[in-house]
Every structure is written in structure tokens, then in C-alpha cells.
């Protein structure tokens, strides 16, 4: 899927920053859960998943948490 600045400015800017840092303006979306666990459905679920796994960072509702 392509992302144009005209329609999705925030995502377009994020992909531009990813490209600036690593040379590839690509993000991959996958299910957000640990093996054997249900899919994350809330901010507290996301935080718990981050604590249990090796996630480096988590963005929820404009809040950025970095390990």
C-alpha cells in the first residue's frame, strides 16, 4: 500500500523518518499479541505485552513509551 502526504500526513511523515533512519520507508503491520495470548485490545493490554516481551517502544494515543 502506498501512503500519500495529501491524505495521511502523520503516517507519511512517520514513514519518511523510518526511511531517513534505515534507508527503507516501510512499516509492517501484524497482530499485536505474544505467543499463546489473545490480541491486545486496550492500552493496559499493550503495556502488559510490552513488559512481557522484547518490544523496544510502544505508542498509544500519542504517548510514546521506550524501554
Q: What is the dihedral of CA 7, 5, 28, 14, to 10 degrees?
A: -120
**Residue 60 — φ and ψ, nearest 5°?**
-135, 120
- Region 57-62: what's the mean pLDDT? 90
Q: DSSP assignment, residue 60?
A: E
For residue 53, the model assigns a pLDDT of 93
For residue 25, the model assigns a pLDDT of 82
Q: What are 1-54's pLDDT values in tens digits?
A: 777 788 788 888 988 999 999 998 888 778 899 999 999 999 999 999 999 998
The full set of domain ranges for the chain reads 1-30, 39-67
Amino acid at each position: 500500500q502506498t501512503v500519500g502526504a495529501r491524505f495521511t500526513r502523520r503516517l507519511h511523515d512517520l514513514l519518511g523518518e523510518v526511511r531517513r533512519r534505515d534507508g527503507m520507508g516501510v512499516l509492517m503491520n501484524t497482530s499485536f499479541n505474544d505467543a499463546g495470548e489473545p490480541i491486545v485490545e486496550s492500552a493496559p493490554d499493550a503495556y502488559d505485552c510490552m513488559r512481557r516481551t522484547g518490544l523496544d517502544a510502544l505508542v498509544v494515543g500519542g504517548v510514546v513509551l521506550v524501554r
